[in-house]
Chain A
Amino acid sequence: MKKKIKTFIRNLVWTYSPATEREASDATARNFLLHWFPAKTTTRSMSFSYSMALGTIIFALFSILTITGLILMFLYVPSVERAYWSIKDLEFVVPYGWFIRDLHRIAAQLMVATVFIHLMRVFLTGAYKNSEKITGSYRPLNWWIGLALLLITMMLSYTGYLLPWDQLALWAITIGDHIALSAPLVGPAISKVLIGGTIIDQNTLIRWYVAHVFFLPVLIFMLLLWHMWRIRKDGGLAAVEALGIERIKQDKVVAKGKTYSLMGITTGITPTITQYRVRGETVSSSPYVTRRILMIFVMVTAVTMALAFFIKAPLEQPASLMWTPNPAKAPWYFLWLQELVADTTIRIKGLTISGGLVGGIVIPTFLFLFAGLWPLLDKSTDQAIGVWFHKSRRLQNAAFLFICAVIIILIYVGAVMRGPYWHIYMPWQQWIKMPTRF
């Protein structure tokens, strides 16, 4: 009886316990969800100090965003007359509406931050490097997918920023629109399709709403799947490349000619795969990887919920083109761009180039293209693949960290040190009093 109760309780929390390794790998092959994972995962791929589980954290945040976003779609009305008031209702009328909105906002901000940290991790470990020569995997492709994911993440948070239709939203969009307008030749056409006219109004709201709730999420989800699938095609995280190099050096390419069959699809054998991993360096993905992913999901949800309780999403006055808040600031992850557009107007004799073009378009595009080309330009050794701060990549890591530091400093200056009229204020200085308008 006692044993039965014990089994019952156990079955409630974790029904799955494979008796043998064979059983564990069988489960992975048979279960559709578990099929996402390989039967075996190297312990090196699972190392927290290597990957910091950033990808899983991002996916957990994305899941929270999808669920809260779907609920918010029932409660939000994308029209200029009602958008602001439906957010007000969320804050004061809808039961727990404030909580769902705060959760959505916090998860979005954490996602932008985590995606950026993830990019830093991948760069500093040299995980984007091409390892075709060693294992036949092509890692730069996943770096490019990752850059696209970063771009879409930013676009998602920017389109979401407009939806409350308050002062904060309107002026962020006005600035963004004028950055697009400052592009030579194509500027007016881009601006027209972005805001659906010449002034920011209903056309803009419905366009950005549809992009925010449909086009961008679908796009990011497809790229996410591709991103994760690429990791499997590349044979795990880049950390395992070192393992391959070691094995090849020691001439311990074991079990060359091991075959994998496509279970349930074909009979017989499929191409041979060189096997250089030895027993003891791998564990069954189920339950070791699945359990960890579950834990990360629970922890991310807990942290996000806790933050949502304490950090309130702001809602300023209803959007009005008649006056601009002073100072008018972009969300923090765009503040470095706002700093750039404010500081980069170039005047050479009679010729003036607007900061909107230099800081808003040219510099970010250049940075992005450079990041995209870097895997092709990086000529460091294969030993540097998947290793934190490898000595052959010292200079490029330093340059990369310098760019990151500049961006973070610009964000800090924009967030803390800019007061009314975009004047510099030291943290201990008092802002001048601005008249409040109603």
Chain B
Amino acid sequence: MPDSTKEGKETQAQISRRRFLSYLGGGFILGGFLLQGFAALRSLFPKVLYEPPTKFKVGAPSDFPEGVRFLPEHRLFIIRNDDRFHCISAICTHLGCTVNLAQYSPPKTYDSTSGKPVSETFEFHCPCHGSKYREDGNIYAGPAPSPLPWYKLYLAPDGQLVVDTNTSVSHDFRLKV
């Protein structure tokens, strides 16, 4: 092999033309496969989702009775307290089941953490793994790791209530109408 002595003297700074071209060719082949692999993988992460909007109108405030109303198609509860409204998600924070509404009349009384008796007219119970939430969405039994989120409510120009499920709000949020 006449080339062997030449190749033996190769240093890192200086490589033979043959080797350079073979690296280049191999690199392009490898790069091509990597690019194809990336394209295949990337295509599985959708860029556009044809899903229902996260902001939607749920009806005029006057449509809602005093107390709690479940909107199954949006998986949330609208709670009306005289002229004040708030909205609680119906998606259990444990593994995503739709929680059921449990209503109590006469109201159910329990001792709050401070020891004072509190009464409530409804609770949320998850059918999947038995998580139980108070009427403010706080968890008191079962495996759910966090309270049910509250969603932002506002009025559209036409006077309808709008829910924004992308924005969580604190438990003192009330929309006054």
Contacts and interface: CB of A to CB of B under 8 A. Distances in A.
Interface in B123-162: 125-130, 142-146
Interface string A173-203: 0110111011000000100110011110101
A341 B127 contact: no
A176 to B, nearest CB: 8
Given A193-B44, A193-B45, A203-B46, A345 B145 contact: yes
Interface in A415-434: 420-423
A421 B94 contact: no
A405 interface: no
B95 interface: yes
Interface in B73-123: 73, 75, 93-98, 100
Contacts of B97: 171, 174-175, 324, 328
Given A325-B127, A342-B129, A422-B127, A177 B143 contact: no
A321 B143 contact: no
A325 B98 CA distance: 9
For chain A, give the interface size range: 35 or more
Contacts, number: 100
B172 interface: no
A199 B144 contact: no
8 contacts: A203-B46, A322-B98, A325-B127, A343-B143, A345-B94, A354-B143, A354-B144, A420-B127
Contacts of A343: 143
Contacts of B126: 324, 421-422
Interface of A: 171, 174-175, 177-179, 181-182, 189, 192-193, 196-199, 201, 203, 207, 321-328, 338, 341-345, 352-356, 360, 420-423
For chain B, give the interface size range: 20 to 34
A218 B44 CA distance: 20
Contacts of A328: 97, 127-128
Given A323-B72, A355-B129, 4 more contacts: A201-B51, A326-B100, A327-B128, A342-B128
B49 interface: yes
Contact of A196 (B46, B52, B93, B146): B46
A259 B86 CA distance: 84
B46 A178 contact: no
Contact of A341 (B52, B73, B75, B129): B129
A333 B22 CA distance: 53
Contact of A345 (B75, B128, B143): B143
A354 B130 contact: no
Given A199-B51, A422-B129, A324 B145 contact: no
A106 to B, nearest CB: 26
Contacts of B98: 321-324
Contacts of B94: 178, 341, 345, 354-356
A296 B52 CA distance: 52
Given A324-B127, A327-B128, A343-B143, A356 B95 contact: yes
Contacts of A197: 46, 49, 51
A342 B125 CA distance: 14
B96 A196 contact: no
Given A201-B51, A324-B97, A338 B129 contact: yes
